[in-house]
Structure 1
């Protein structure tokens, strides 16, 4: 079994050491989420893909039980970091329509097979198919602070 903590730490270093990936409309770029641990209160760093859709940034999770999802639900004030610096954000859970649109765009943008396999639907899924799985997804809209 892979050491997820070590893999995430290495990815975090790679993202922060740069260069920063550009974030283009309809695409995603790797960033580091700095959130507050819901039990520990400690800062947690998680490498994630930030999606840009219709001028808004999103975090998309194929699993609502991931630690970073729970952390943002408990404390939505966070930071998004890259080699270019960081920005303070408030993470707001997206509504159903916004979630399905963000997941559809994210699946079209992602090319990493293991990341795609984590979702209950594939890149060609319709909005209706995605909507059937809303309870197994989490999407946060990032609002600058």
Structure 2
């Protein structure tokens, strides 16, 4: 009997390997600025909600209205559940580490961040994971949350 969890057609172990490979690549790149209306790649470090161990996930950080946001098409992703359990996190690149606190924004800000993220994405497969598109109205995006999860990353004090 296998204890590997299936995530759609891909086994969890495959996702873990792909994430580790991508995280290594991101950590080898200098930190590009997160432009307002765009995104930049980082590694999100969270604390595992069960293990308490550091968990690294490659992620696109979107800039919207002067703030940085993390967006997920599914609220069941491990990094989302880890941030819900402990909102302290760090965004990493080869030459930068930025500690922060993940905060769930109000519904309008969350929907606006989703729209910005989808417009900035240049990967059709990533867009297809969302139940809405880049040209969706704010009200339409709000109607599809959850399962979409959004966090604003406030700098640590």
1:57-77 deviations in Å (ceiling 9; x for gaps): 000011011110010010001
Distance 1:83 1:67 in 2: 23
Q: Quick one: which of 136, 142, 147 aligns to 1:125?
A: 136
Unaligned runs of 5+ in 2: 1-9
CA distance in 2, matches of 1:9, 1:58: 22
Normalised TM-score (structure 2) = 0.89
* Pairwise CA distance, 1:84: 2.0
Match of 1:82?
93
Shift of 1:21: 2.9
SS, match of residue 57 in structure 2: strand
Q: Distance in 2 between matches of 1:124 and 1:28?
A: 17
Structure 1 residue 118, shift from structure 2 partner: 0.6
Q: 2:27 is matched with which residue?
A: 16
Question: Which residue number corresponds to residue 94 of structure 1?
Answer: 105
Runs of 4+ in structure 1 over 3 Å off: none
* Structure 1: gaps of 5 or more residues: none
**CA distance in structure 2 between the partners assigned to 1:61 and 1:41 by the alignment:** 22
Matched positions, count:
145
Distance 1:67 1:24 in 2: 26
The 5 A counterparts of 1:1-145 are: 1=10, 3-145=14-156
Any idea what SS the aligned residue of 1:10 has? helix
Aligned to 2:146, what secondary structure does the other structure show?
helix
TM-score (norm 1): 0.96
Answer yes or no: is the 8 Å Cα contact 2:62–2:70 preserved in 1. yes
Alpha-carbon distance in 2 for matches of 1:30, 1:95: 24
Q: Quick check: 2:42–2:61 contact (8 Å CA) kept in 1?
A: yes
1:109, distance to aligned residue in structure 2 (A):
0.4
